Amino acid sequence: MKRKAIFLFTVISFLSGMVYAHPPSDIKITFDPDTKILHAVIYHNTSNPINHYIKKVDVGLNGKEIIEHQISREDNNETQTVSYLIPDAKDCNSLSVEGYCSISGKLKKEITVSAKK
């Protein structure tokens, strides 16, 4: 009986934690073709950015992962901002940013590089 109670408590605790878990709600990506800097703001509203945060960001160029960035906590309760130098990005290339929640879920957004400003 004690084993069942411990198991039930564990399952309920896990499921109640999942209720508050959610993937990022949006990712805004910009790329400056002159400086070759990619900026991304990952929107992930949380009440506790130390325990529930964007834990990892992957950056892709033309469908191939080129950066995997592990993060220890979110910038604030609403967003995680990242910037990367992407020297190989050229006009018409595809850049993607994927943000992973520390508890559950992920979101990926993509843009096409444009030399025109």
CATH 2.60.40.730 is the classification of domain 22-112: yes
Q: pLDDT digits over 92-102, tens only?
A: 999 999 999 99
Enumerate long-range contacts of 41-45, CB under 8 Å, 24 or more apart: 41/79, 41/80, 41/81, 42/79, 42/80, 42/81, 42/82, 42/97, 42/99, 42/107, 43/78, 43/79, 44/74, 44/78, 44/79, 44/80, 44/99, 44/101, 45/77, 45/78
> What pLDDT score does 5 carry?
57
Q: pLDDT digits over 62-102, tens only?
A: 999 999 999 999 889 999 999 999 999 999 999 999 999 99
> What pLDDT score does 55 carry?
96
